[in-house]
């Protein structure tokens, strides 16, 4: 075996070993911690962990307050973020209507519109407006 092949093999084996070391370390630190935190929890607790407790509590609050055969629109301090789409997923039977919805869901924002009254509030900046 020539010296170049020997050096190449040593470098290649070292590179593969380091790659595996960093790969396994990442799995153990990040994903391992998540699996440990999720193990033994109910489905609702897992959803709260993944989406964030504050947002999950607000979605559950909206599920209780908004009728299933009505429409809603979201006003929030963000636009087209993951929470926007998660909200649509979790509140599914209720349909989104951007024009003239039955309910306006306000999340982390102050919003008022004529023809709507506040019917329920979780906090000062998290509430639901209903069409009169």
Cα–Cα dist 91/70, whole Å: 11
- Please state, in angstroms and as integers, the Cα–Cα distance from residue 20 to each residue in 11, 15, 17, 24, 51, following that order: 14, 9, 5, 6, 31
What are 79-129's pLDDT values in tens digits?
657 777 788 888 887 888 778 888 888 887 777 777 887 888 888 888 888
What are 11-36's pLDDT values in tens digits?
999 999 999 998 888 777 777 777 78
Q: Is the pTM of this model over 0.75?
A: no
């Amino acid at each position: 075996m020539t010296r170049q092949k020997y050096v190449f093999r040593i470098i290649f084996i070292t590179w593969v070993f380091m790659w595996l070391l960093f790969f396994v370390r990442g799995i153990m630190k990040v994903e391992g911690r998540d699996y440990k935190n999720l193990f033994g929890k109910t489905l609702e607790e897992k959803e709260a962990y993944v989406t964030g407790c504050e947002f999950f509590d607000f979605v559950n609050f909206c599920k209780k307050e908004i009728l299933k055969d009505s429409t809603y629109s979201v006003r929030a301090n963000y636009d087209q973020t993951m929470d926007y789409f998660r909200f649509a997923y979790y509140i599914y039977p209720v349909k989104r209507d951007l024009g003239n919805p039955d309910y306006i869901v306000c999340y982390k924002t102050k919003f008022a519109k004529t023809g709507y009254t506040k019917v329920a509030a979780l906090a000062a900046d998290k509430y639901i407006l209903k069409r009169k």
